[in-house]
Structure 1
């Protein structure tokens, strides 16, 4: 312990010297790891942050929001020491910016976790920390015996949108991870107001294409699994970069018009549910090189008339078996009948009989494995450009490297469905 303290002090002293000699460069906003202590706003906390904080103290650099490592509103030597402790993995508290954009301070180490959705359970497993999960959501996680053979056997705490706080408290977790509040996600009155300060509620989505990279790194810091988190991010970056390179060369005129179908749960007669900007489904369509015909509506989830859909002349219909619109499939079955029924429902709508229709399940469109669904979309939108990218190969890599289960995606499970047009 004494040697570690000496190392910290030596590192701080070196940074004081370096502060007058070097000028670290700030990272762009989309690279920022939103943890207090990331003074130079890049995607890691390292000696460069120590240097940058010292330069702020000596008024050689402008202050940044994340330079206040110990989150006490002052930039001083305490922040330099906190950054050094984070680098060494010895910090007792860590303050992050959660998915709501709010600062959240968490005590460490984190040994016991409750998860309220499959995306969070996947993410924790992907970075090698599944043994710390002590409680799970009763429906989406507990019923997936094939995909979560170990995790699904853990104690349950009610449905994700309506968890039992007494059951949660009885398990004495350090933290509970949940989505941001929403229509089907509990708000602060259902979680924070009932659980804190006994249990810290951490809001992370861990499914959105635009934020999952940063959230996985953040989760790595929270659980002291930074190395494993970066292994996942390296895999993500490789394929995401390849897809981005392909799509960046496609002109707007060459992008197909797409209708993203979410069924009829909230739709009236002669209507279909769909999504617009602000939804993860829309972002997936956009990133794969498609144009969502409902993109510009003012709300992310809405219903539109069949006549309106046909007036927009979509070339492709994607049936999204996700959220409240799930139609079977996934890891738990080899039976495709429910996805076929959904396909037949769409293709049977008046005026839809000649459309290209594809059905895809949330198992490959959400969570850390979302890139698989993105690759399928790319192949459907631009088959020639995506001919060298094999979604099943990507899927098998994800399962083998980050799921820890023995599962052959070519021989088992049902994740997409279509029929020759």
Structure 2
């Protein structure tokens, strides 16, 4: 039986399945982050997460039972953020039994498996859009009554976080909760931007952001004007790699780092033991050992691209949790980067308390420090 016959057969089964509870809910048209209008029965009861790390925003809405709607997900959460995954696993052991599936980007997504999981909606990150369209997944899923929506916390996170959270609030029937989160986030960002706006002739340090330093032997992945690059700008710095990377992500040559001689270096890291066992990456994240993280960070500064540059000489070298690049908590990173770049302006700002408050107000797991480390003892 070819895929189209399978899809048709599945559609007949779903028509019977959806004749009950799904049609008892309101069918509304929502607009996803790409501007597509998608009809969905809300509030959704069964959800497939196109990426496991989407739990970062799901948990902020369904704080008491973050897995109550999730019927399947990618397995990247455990691999990309082992410490964060384990923090959730301790409290919600049932999550390990959730079905996992292949990705649309690598062509291993299984429509039959998706049908069997009976989702009301599939939530995909915008970076999978091209692959999803080329494979015709939206049309194929549409034939069996499964809508797909895009969110974005990665490609243009400072632009798309608020509408993505509002979309999720609408899908989950948690609009008020989503607005509370959005207001909290905006107020915390303002604690940085309002202060900087009052400074005449602000001196912006030159900052090199290395993406996933030590993950491989290559040097050096970085960010253009988006993602961490824009977080640096919001925090009062100049993102060095913006001159060399036209998009969100790219690579900077070691010679360019030496020539630019940055004032500050910030490396993103996480516990990637399942990806690169025993790697040189800096394992910052929930509950990370600060001394071990600092040791690994110092070791990375022995690479040719960094020896002798101003940031290393002055000790202005830092590591921060990589996953800030792909979730709605980026405002915490903006605060911490601001403290590194302008310690005198932000001596009273406490990003650690900000993140703790976020956990207490919105997240179902306890806060565990360890999300950043610095080689500068004063930071």
The TM-score, its normalising length taken from structure 1, stands at 0.68
The aligned residue for residue 104 of structure 1 is: 38
The structure in which a higher percent of residues are helix is: 2
Distance between the aligned counterparts of 1:191 and 1:252, measured in 2? 51
* Structure 1 residue 221 displacement after superposition: 1.4
Determine if contact 2:293/2:373 at 8 Å carries over to the other structure. no
SS in 1 for 2:34: coil
Distance between the aligned counterparts of 1:335 and 1:380, measured in 2? 17
- Equivalent pairs counted in the alignment come to 324
The aligned residue for residue 31 of structure 1 is: none
SS in 1 for 2:127: coil
* Structure 1 residue 338 displacement after superposition: 5.2
Where structure 2 has 5 or more consecutive residues not aligned to the other structure, the ranges are 1-23
Q: Establish whether residue 417 from structure 1 lines up as the match of residue 373 from structure 2.
A: yes
The aligned residue for residue 300 of structure 2 is: 345
* Structure 1 residue 196 displacement after superposition: 3.0
Determine if contact 2:290/2:373 at 8 Å carries over to the other structure. no
SS in 2 for 1:101: coil
Distance between the aligned counterparts of 2:340 and 2:199, measured in 1? 14
Determine if contact 1:343/1:417 at 8 Å carries over to the other structure. no
Distance between the aligned counterparts of 1:116 and 1:335, measured in 2? 32
1:300–1:366 CA distance, 2 compared to 1 (3 A): closer
* Structure 1 residue 171 displacement after superposition: 1.0
Q: Give the root-mean-square deviation of aligned CA atoms.
A: 3.1
Which digits, 9 at most, give the CA deviation of each residue in 1:121-151, with x for residues without a partner? Answer: 1212211272211212213158512135427
The aligned residue for residue 38 of structure 1 is: none
The aligned residue for residue 179 of structure 1 is: 125
SS in 1 for 2:43: coil
Determine if contact 1:92/1:108 at 8 Å carries over to the other structure. yes
Distance between the aligned counterparts of 2:116 and 2:297, measured in 1? 41
Distance between the aligned counterparts of 1:317 and 1:328, measured in 2? 17
The aligned residue for residue 5 of structure 2 is: none
* Structure 1 residue 301 displacement after superposition: 2.2
**Which structure has the greater CA radius of gyration?**
1
1:314–1:125 CA distance, 2 compared to 1 (3 A): same
1:319–1:219 CA distance, 2 compared to 1 (3 A): same
SS in 2 for 1:134: strand
Distance between the aligned counterparts of 2:199 and 2:206, measured in 1? 14
SS in 2 for 1:173: coil
1:370-389 matched pairs, under 5 angstroms: 370-389=330-349
Bigger mean CA deviation after superposition, 234-243 or 100-109: 100-109
1:182–1:264 CA distance, 2 compared to 1 (3 A): farther
The aligned residue for residue 18 of structure 2 is: none
1:374–1:197 CA distance, 2 compared to 1 (3 A): farther
* Structure 1 residue 302 displacement after superposition: 2.2
